[in-house]
Structure 1
Amino acid sequence: MNNIWKEMFSSQNNKKAQEQGGLFDSSIPQGVGSRKDAQVRLQKDLMENMVKIRAFSQNTSDLLDRQIEVSGVKVGILMCEGMINLQMFTQIMVRPLSEVSIPNADGEAVAHWVSKNTVFSGDQKEFFTYDELFTFLMAGFVVLLIDGVDRGIACGMQGFNFRSVSEPSTEMNITGSREGFVEPVRINQTMIRRRIRSPSLKFEMYPVGQKSRTDICLVYLTDTADPKLVQAVREKLSNLSSDIVLSQGYLSPYLEGNPKSPFSSVGTTERPDTLCAKINEGRIGILVDGTPFALIVPYLFSEHFQSMDDYSYRPYYGSFIRLLKYFAFFLSVFLPGLYVAITVFSPQMLPDSLLFNIAASEQQTPFSMMTEAFIIHLIYEIMREAGLRLPRPVGHAVSIIGALVIGDAAVQAGIIGSSMVMVVALTALSSFVVPSLYEPAAVLKFVFIIVGGTWGLFGISVGFVLLLCNLCALESFGIPIMAPTSPWSAADLRDNFWRSSWKKLGKLRLHVQNLPGSRLNENKEDKKSC
């Protein structure tokens, strides 16, 4: 079917263009492809427009074009192959255009009839430049160009394939929603709108990337988000210099506050309910077309340890799970370094029986404790990356190799000690408890292995203080990411290390711009003092 449409749409216009002196007009520079060259207005002559469109697009094979007559007026129809719903296009657009009869019709009369008297699509817009034309075409719109009219009409009839809504793969839950974001940004907008049915929910969409023209969408509540925060996010994104944007990771560096930190001040989520909860607190969500992950700014450090399941459990159990996540994170970062520091510099801190077992296992190994810990954790990271990138049918081979070679053969051969295998296993399990912090935890554990093996417990203590200072100094759009722990606010701790009941949480509504230490309210405080 697509080939039939392609031949039907292309043959007539190409033939007429060649009769007028070739497909590429001599007045149009060859190799036109930049957005600057396409920032010219459409002409009233339909054939001139069609020839220039072919020139701008370098005669790409997926551009389908066809000229028809509507009440004696020539109308050009353009679309991208595979981007539209052909059944909708045939029934809603082709049939009315072929049956309409407008007396004494000219180009403006046909344009007025299409714009004012028909509803080809719920998303129907007029445009005036070639740049807008290509933006609509490549977003799945059908474009109408009318002879004698210097503007076009775009009708949204998207019909491209995409992954259906399914359960999030990175944020699993037990009692919450099973819906996760998908790649098309419009579908993600509907999932948010279904959960927040308020007129104050606003979507701001605009393209980024000079070549990809990727649609990104700012999501926020106009009566909750601080206008200065919204403007700051817009300014950050306006500095985007990439030609192509393919995922949310391209935007994160422009939104982060202090880049000299292993921790990010930009959060990500794959769950619509999580994003709705965040924007209800005054945050801004950013949806990127083509990726199922949404960005959240500003993002606090304590939010890495929160999940939607916490608010479905009883308060005491939700608090227990949250404290367990904190403990697991510190274990994944500090356990290897503490093990090396204690066994090398402070063995008297261990019980005699445990110390004898460790000494017996390490006596057969050729490496020092620090070297052994560094090598074994590096091997584990290699195994994890290999298992992550391998196809699923053969991915289990990595775990088999790891269990046989590292877990058994390496110990039997005396390359590593059995106690070190236990430390690696416990560190690996702890790092999976808070997956959003896996990246900094994976790097920091190597840092603390070196520090612990070089300066012992003193080095671990100094490293911990420096890490804590780095966290406390990190801001996201003027809001400290360690708030409300630093600066301290006892009232806001009701949903930090532990979770209070909904009776208490519902009494005082949290707005992120009102957190202690926020610089968004400096002007308000100055006015009050005056």
Structure 2
Amino acid sequence: MFSYFSMNPSRQNYAKRFTMDGICIKPTEFGKVNLDEVIAMMTASLKENLAYFNQQFDGSADFIVRKFQITGTDAALLTLEGLVNKQVIVQGIMNPILHATILEQDPVKKFEYIRDNTLATVDQAEVDTYDAAIQKLMNGFALIAIDGCIRMMAFSVQGFSFRGISEPQNEMTQRGSREGFVEPFLINMSMIRRRMHTPKLKFEIFTVGKESKTNICVCYLRDTVSPEVLSRVKKRIKDLQLNTVLAAGYVSPQIVRKHSHFIFSGVGLSERPDTVCGKINEGRVAIIIDGTPNVLIVPHLFIENFQSFDDYAFRPFYATFTRWLKFFAFFLAVFLPGFYVSATTFHPELLPEELMLKIAQAEATTPFPVMLEAIVIHFLYEIMREAGLRVPQPLSNAVSIVGALVIGETAVSSGLVGAPTLMVIALTATASYVTPTLYGPVTIMRFIFIVVGGTLGFWGLALCLMVMLVNICAEMVYQIPFSAPLSPFKLHSMRDVLVRASWKILSKNIEMVQNMPGSEIKNPDQKGKQV
């Protein structure tokens, strides 16, 4: 664009016949023009350029403009307060420019001299459109505009404050790294790059959000990812119609199948760089969102909810034991309350006689049926859990103690609820935390099984279980079965599903996610070995 107008003076005059109105540039009566090329074009007048920026920011307190001269030519420095490092600007940019001996008189020549000589070692970029310049400002760059030049120099001088790298709170491990992702996406990119020393690791950055202009980075390994999966991920990111993107939850529902009412999520979430590196090594795509420490991973399969980083840090026999413990805790958290309500209401003969007598004795003093007791206790537990999450950290322990001891003990001693029902709900609530990524779906399914078990008995539980299994097996995530490799079943894949085999076995052939049984991805160029 610069060469087109600078080399054609007549076109410069023609471009000046456009009048600015808000953020648009309207053509006059001189005929039709290509607005895509002209609408965001900067002018050679420093005064007009600064007027545009002042109009866009409308007197915002953090928009700073500093005017100065470069050997007699007017220039200006544009920054956003709080996003830049002032010391770097003064020592690394302004001092070299103001003390440089520039003999050139043409503004364009001065621009090129500063770019190629005075500030050649500074991280810089050129912008020639208003949109690109504003985006650079929002990302913590400093802009230098020179009168008579229709380009600006953008310098990377970010200096905003952010939370330091610390251990992730939701994915704590015993033997793994203590580093977790932070909010700036560039730092998260560097944490992944530091663990993957290969040029095959690639990052692509997109901008999403009409107002927030949030940076979203797609991360993958070129030789392992499926081009079909990658193209679908990119397309869905580009098609996002959002005004703002402030968290991973804004994006995750829209990068899986649209209009899906599936209770489970086909998008994984991680705060650990080592976990993300392991996932992309299996052909998955990581999505890093600026402003959040949570990285999205697609495609995400059901079995991955039962895998953790510690599974690969301990010896196989103990890792296999913990894997089965997670399976058991999942089914316990989902089915135990419904089974208890169904057995005590419709099928007491299934319980041992002494146990049934004790339960009947405890429930005889309560005024509510077992199903209503279970629902009420469950609601109270969720209320106390939400209160513990929202109150300040010093008060969360007090809320938990008051809820668990005072309210629970008082409710049992006063005869409002039975002790067996309270114990069952407490046990299932504890089991829910063994698979934290499934806490939401497990909570919803637990309520459903309680209601179905209390109204239809075991027949209702069996029907509800069948519907859940069919729903899991029928779901596809980026053309890969969500239930793979359990359904369709693949014996070879069980080495890291039902058991955790030794590293000698796991390292022989890394099974790519696109090669899972039942996958509909057709990619003859894929280098991931089909095992």
Normalised to the residue count of structure 2, the TM-score between the two structures is: 0.91
1:162 and 1:473 map into 2 onto residues whose CA distance is 43
Counterpart residue type for residue 353 of structure 2:
D
Aligned match of 1:211: 211
The question of 1:486 aligning with 2:478 is answered no
Aligned match of 1:350: 351
Contact 1:121 1:155 in 2 (8 A): no
Q: 1:505 to 1:290 in 2, by over 3 A?
A: same
Aligned match of 1:6: none
Return the offset for 1:60. 1.1
Give SS of 2:490's match.
coil
Q: 1:52 to 1:37 in 2, by over 3 A?
A: farther
Contact 1:121 1:157 in 2 (8 A): no
Q: 1:500 to 1:338 in 2, by over 3 A?
A: same
CA deviations over 1:409-467 (Å, ceiling 9, x no partner): 11111110010111011011100111100000111100000000011111111111110
Return the offset for 1:121. 6.4
Aligned match of 2:131: 131
Q: 1:467 to 1:123 in 2, by over 3 A?
A: farther
Aligned match of 2:319: 318
Contact 2:123 2:156 in 1 (8 A): yes
Contact 2:93 2:119 in 1 (8 A): no
The question of 1:94 aligning with 2:94 is answered yes
2:279 and 2:84 map into 1 onto residues whose CA distance is 34
The question of 1:290 aligning with 2:291 is answered yes
Aligned match of 2:185: 185
Return the offset for 1:125. 1.1
Aligned match of 2:240: 240
Q: 1:335 to 1:212 in 2, by over 3 A?
A: same
Aligned match of 2:449: 448
Return the offset for 1:509. 1.6
Counterpart residue type for residue 512 of structure 2:
H
Contact 2:374 2:422 in 1 (8 A): no
2:244 and 2:65 map into 1 onto residues whose CA distance is 27
Aligned match of 1:66: 66
Aligned match of 1:360: 361
1:137-176 aligned at under 5 Å gives the runs: 137-176=137-176
Return the offset for 1:87. 1.1
Contact 2:100 2:118 in 1 (8 A): no
Aligned match of 1:341: 342
1:205 and 1:91 map into 2 onto residues whose CA distance is 30
Q: 1:285 to 1:38 in 2, by over 3 A?
A: farther
Q: 1:323 to 1:450 in 2, by over 3 A?
A: same
Contact 2:329 2:434 in 1 (8 A): yes
Contact 2:452 2:460 in 1 (8 A): yes
| More displaced stretch, 230-239 vs 268-277 | 230-239
Aligned match of 1:10: none
Return the offset for 1:512. 0.9
Contact 1:181 1:272 in 2 (8 A): yes
Contact 2:171 2:272 in 1 (8 A): yes
Return the offset for 1:31. 8.7
CA deviations over 1:336-381 (Å, ceiling 9, x no partner): 0000011111101111111111000100111111111111111111
Q: 1:252 to 1:39 in 2, by over 3 A?
A: farther
1:88 and 1:55 map into 2 onto residues whose CA distance is 28
Contact 1:93 1:120 in 2 (8 A): no
| More displaced stretch, 251-260 vs 190-199 | 251-260
Percent identity between matched residues is 45
Return the offset for 1:104. 3.2
2:491 and 2:323 map into 1 onto residues whose CA distance is 18
Aligned match of 1:4: none
| More displaced stretch, 61-70 vs 270-279 | 61-70
Q: 1:460 to 1:37 in 2, by over 3 A?
A: farther
Q: 1:67 to 1:288 in 2, by over 3 A?
A: same
1:156 and 1:383 map into 2 onto residues whose CA distance is 47
Q: 1:327 to 1:118 in 2, by over 3 A?
A: farther
Contact 2:226 2:523 in 1 (8 A): no
Aligned match of 1:457: 458
1:114 and 1:222 map into 2 onto residues whose CA distance is 37
Counterpart residue type for residue 149 of structure 2:
V
Q: 1:499 to 1:30 in 2, by over 3 A?
A: same
Contact 1:514 1:521 in 2 (8 A): no
1:362 and 1:122 map into 2 onto residues whose CA distance is 76
Superposition RMSD on alpha carbons, in Å? 1.9
1:462 and 1:181 map into 2 onto residues whose CA distance is 42
Return the offset for 1:30. 5.7
Aligned match of 2:472: 471
| More displaced stretch, 67-76 vs 216-225 | 67-76
Aligned match of 1:410: 411
2:444 and 2:56 map into 1 onto residues whose CA distance is 47
Return the offset for 1:392. 1.3
Aligned match of 1:381: 382
2:433 and 2:38 map into 1 onto residues whose CA distance is 49
1:315 and 1:144 map into 2 onto residues whose CA distance is 59
1:121 and 1:243 map into 2 onto residues whose CA distance is 37
Return the offset for 1:280. 0.4
2:122 and 2:335 map into 1 onto residues whose CA distance is 56
Counterpart residue type for residue 156 of structure 1:
S
The question of 1:520 aligning with 2:521 is answered yes
Aligned match of 1:438: 439
Contact 1:246 1:290 in 2 (8 A): yes
Counterpart residue type for residue 295 of structure 1:
L
1:462 and 1:423 map into 2 onto residues whose CA distance is 22
Aligned match of 1:230: 230
Aligned match of 1:41: 41
Contact 2:211 2:243 in 1 (8 A): yes
Contact 1:410 1:416 in 2 (8 A): yes
Aligned match of 1:332: 333
Contact 1:164 1:182 in 2 (8 A): yes
1:289 and 1:233 map into 2 onto residues whose CA distance is 17
Give SS of 2:450's match.
helix
Give SS of 2:75's match.
strand
Give SS of 1:93's match.
helix
Return the offset for 1:142. 0.4
Contact 2:268 2:299 in 1 (8 A): yes
1:104 and 1:346 map into 2 onto residues whose CA distance is 95
- Where does structure 2 lack aligned partners over 5 or more consecutive residues? 1-18, 25-35, 527-531
| More displaced stretch, 176-185 vs 230-239 | 230-239
1:171 and 1:120 map into 2 onto residues whose CA distance is 43
2:72 and 2:525 map into 1 onto residues whose CA distance is 64
Return the offset for 1:402. 1.3
CA deviations over 1:230-264 (Å, ceiling 9, x no partner): 11001111221110000110001111237221100
Q: 1:455 to 1:120 in 2, by over 3 A?
A: farther
Return the offset for 1:132. 0.7
Normalised to the residue count of structure 1, the TM-score between the two structures is: 0.91
1:343 and 1:121 map into 2 onto residues whose CA distance is 77
1:511 and 1:74 map into 2 onto residues whose CA distance is 58
Give SS of 2:67's match.
strand
2:122 and 2:521 map into 1 onto residues whose CA distance is 39
| More displaced stretch, 308-317 vs 400-409 | 400-409
1:484 and 1:123 map into 2 onto residues whose CA distance is 47
1:104 and 1:185 map into 2 onto residues whose CA distance is 40
Return the offset for 1:382. 0.8
